[in-house]
């Protein structure tokens, strides 16, 4: 499974906001500068997360973005869904008949990926990032 750059940047921004939870809003430009993300693109992503009620924004001198809920209450899946929509492994209407032979297998794969994303909170992802990415493991 390959995630889009937009979703990847949404995860990065969400992890940054989780690290700043309760400390006030964070400007998109600050996150963009730290991670080398085009600021306008990040603002669009954060607005998508705002529409999904994952983040909220505040205008003004002390403005920026912050998480709307505790990081432990936000599922990584919610971020994926807000940015890229539902997980679809194979859309049989758009592929040849031979590839649809794998439909049931792909549904099983989607279920495993969904479970992993849905059972991982943003707090857990942020903790894993603080530990050098070694904290989350999933075995099939």
Nearest CA among 95, 137, 88, 139 for reference residue 111: 88
CA distances from 30 to 13, 24, 76, 87, 89 (A): 10, 13, 22, 30, 35
Helices (H), the chain: 5-19, 28-35, 39-51, 76-84, 103-118, 122-130
Give me 94's structure tokens.
Answer: 């758009």
* 43-73 residue pLDDT tens: 999 999 999 999 999 998 889 999 999 999 9
CA distances from 46 to 41, 76, 83, 113 (A): 9, 15, 10, 24
In three-state secondary structure terms, 97 is helix
The model's pTM = 0.84
Please list the residues that pair with 58 across neighbouring strands: 64
Q: Look at residue 124 and tell me whether its pLDDT is greater than 90.
A: yes
Q: Look at residue 29 and tell me whether its pLDDT is greater than 70.
A: yes
Mean pLDDT check: name the lowest of 74-78, 100-104, 107-111. 100-104
Give me 85's structure tokens.
Answer: 């929509």
């Amino acid at each position: 499974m390959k995630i889009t750059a937009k979703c990847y940047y949404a995860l990065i921004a969400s992890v940054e906001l989780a690290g700043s939870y309760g400390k006030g809003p964070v400007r998109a430009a600050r996150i963009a500068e730290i991670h080398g993300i085009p600021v306008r693109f990040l603002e669009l992503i954060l607005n998508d997360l705002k529409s999904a009620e994952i983040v909220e924004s505040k205008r003004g001198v002390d403005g920026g973005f912050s998480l709307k809920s505790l990081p432990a209450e936000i599922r990584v899946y919610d971020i994926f869904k807000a940015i890229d929509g539902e997980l679809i492994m194979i859309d049989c209407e758009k592929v040849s008949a031979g590839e649809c032979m794998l439909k049931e297998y792909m549904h099983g794969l989607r279920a495993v990926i969904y479970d992993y994303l849905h059972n991982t909170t943003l707090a857990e992802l942020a903790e894993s990032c603080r530990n050098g990415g070694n904290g989350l493991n999933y075995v099939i």
